[in-house]
Structure 1
């Protein structure tokens, strides 16, 4: 069961790694289509805080092994939150504890949670971990690029188990870094503001004439300091501008990309310039850098593509590859706990 499932990044990765996912739960109904269209699982539109143990127990059915997975909204802790820790975001903090409440009520054999590293700095995480009695627990901050996710993305991964004392950890041995070129280098070239007729999600935001001149003056891996002075914004010439060298930046072909955020479609929002073409990355390229398959469907045929909503869904997703590594690590733990070996499913 995948709580706070979004468009299905974690679910898709778990399935690829050998886990059968019965359902995903999220309060955002725009996630319903992509979740069900790409995964053989049911989408349930529901506030996780209102879920009860009986709701999940009926969905788990008579499964011998149950995994409760989730990624509570991370905006209260994220350094990328533009709104700061305001009252609206503070209301989301208890969702971590709501997840813990459901774990304790349902008592699944396995638990995983993914979140931002900043969660470790708050007592809500200590309270969450302390509430899970009878579980063996492991957690670590993972650099996703080391797992084959083509972006520099640090995430907190938490695992818990009631299946004995066999080793519980994320297995990362033999995994290699993947570059931007390996991920999106084969896609059809498009211009700023253009949409690929064969793939509506392969669309890039338009650029003003000033920003078009800026990206033409940008080099992969460089900063706005490479521009002629007339292209620099007033804020760049202030001392405070030195703190934001990655805005208006281009990615490098042969390195992982930057962290995909909800604003990853905007050239001025980070290092989201295409390495070679004079535009920001497309929504499809952002999804692929989040390790979604190239054919992952986000809207029904003929559906409207909105940059703001698609950027939010893609940027907030758990990278599929991370979910796959979590699945394989849990299956390894299950096999060791039961004395089994070889491939298996959960």
Structure 2
């Protein structure tokens, strides 16, 4: 049944969502993204084409051409930064011109209207539902329901689908044939994939070191003061473990509790915190290695996003930025969450076939 369909991934990034669909046996015609630095990783690992295009300027005719004569599935994750907790400032919400990326969701719905894929999926941060008093998301849902799509959506935690990370995401599924139900969780409390299981067998490295066998397994160099801080932090601990001389001014002020995760270490036998675009920096969250005195490496961040160990992110033929790769990893849809979405769609399509 799924052989009759082609998938196109909008806002594809380095291919986390695409890779989930590939692992479920879908054929992906193309990934489209405005950030051309994602091209190498996307094409290298997914055996399909990356198109460097602005989704806001993508024509329906260009999109239709990618599907050829096959049945259409359109998936994607519009940039989530405008809807994230870090951008919930009143002026950003009230002034739509403050960040034009929020308009990309409208571009997404316009392309759906004009190309009429049989199945659609959209993944984003939970706060999208409330952005601008819910207007943006509600407009998206209504636009699709008005043209015949059966829409379902809910908040799902990636840890429930084998991702070694707490990561709540809004997943929307739509079909012209009926409601699509997200598959039941594959993991539960006590059975989650842990940090130890995900990264525990990697070679030990120091801050500033690059593993000789894996260039992605590299950690940022720490200052002497930051090194002392991580050395004073126990597994699962934070700045609360430090002597007063090591604490930052913000920690000593009233309200310092809200900074409890910065400079924190992960725990071996728990899932990791949400990977962000700053996931290789100690002062950006609980991104300290459970026992080595450093922040997690790029490879470790990718594994905690459930990318396979062999997922290539560095093109040896060109220069690269570790910070840019960290951004790509943090922005990605976890592969196993993408796989769960793909499996949900596959079950839906099989059900349609069985019921005639």
TM-score (norm 2): 0.91
1:225-267 Cα shifts (integer Å, max 9, x gaps): 1111111111110113211100000000011101000100001
State the partner residue of 2:80.
74
Cα distance between partner residues in 2 of 1:288 and 1:33? 18
CA contact (8 A) 1:76 1:89 kept: no
State the partner residue of 1:130.
142
One of 147, 167, 176 as aligned partner of 1:162: 176
Cα distance between partner residues in 1 of 2:229 and 2:267? 17
One of 216, 230, 242 as aligned partner of 1:227: 242
- Mapped pair 1:141 → 2:155: yes
State the partner residue of 2:106.
97
Secondary structure class of the residue paired with 2:171 = strand
Displacement of 1:14:
0.9
Displacement of 1:172:
2.4
Gaps of at least 5 residues in structure 2 are: 1-7
* Aligned CA distance change for structure 1 residues 72 and 18 (closer, same or farther; 3 Å): same
Cα distance between partner residues in 1 of 2:198 and 2:257? 31
Displacement of 1:175:
3.0
1:161-198 Cα shifts (integer Å, max 9, x gaps): 012x3x51110243352100000001010001100011
Task: Report matched runs for 1:38-49 at 5 Å.
Answer: 38-49=45-56
State the partner residue of 2:340.
325
* Aligned CA distance change for structure 1 residues 174 and 244 (closer, same or farther; 3 Å): same
Which has the higher mean CA deviation after the structures are superposed, 85-94 or 4-13?
85-94
Number of aligned residues: 338
1:291-319 Cα shifts (integer Å, max 9, x gaps): 11111111212543422211111111111
One of 110, 114, 123 as aligned partner of 2:123: 114
Decide which structure has greater helix share: 2
Gaps of at least 5 residues in structure 1 are: 342-346
1:29-76 Cα shifts (integer Å, max 9, x gaps): 10111111111111000000111111111110111x311001001111
Secondary structure class of the residue paired with 2:121 = strand
Cα distance between partner residues in 1 of 2:13 and 2:49? 12
- Mapped pair 1:17 → 2:24: yes
- Mapped pair 1:306 → 2:321: yes
CA contact (8 A) 2:279 2:301 kept: yes
* Aligned CA distance change for structure 1 residues 53 and 87 (closer, same or farther; 3 Å): closer
Cα distance between partner residues in 2 of 1:82 and 1:204? 31
Task: Report matched runs for 1:207-246 at 5 Å.
Answer: 207-246=222-261
Displacement of 1:223:
1.9
* Aligned CA distance change for structure 1 residues 294 and 23 (closer, same or farther; 3 Å): same
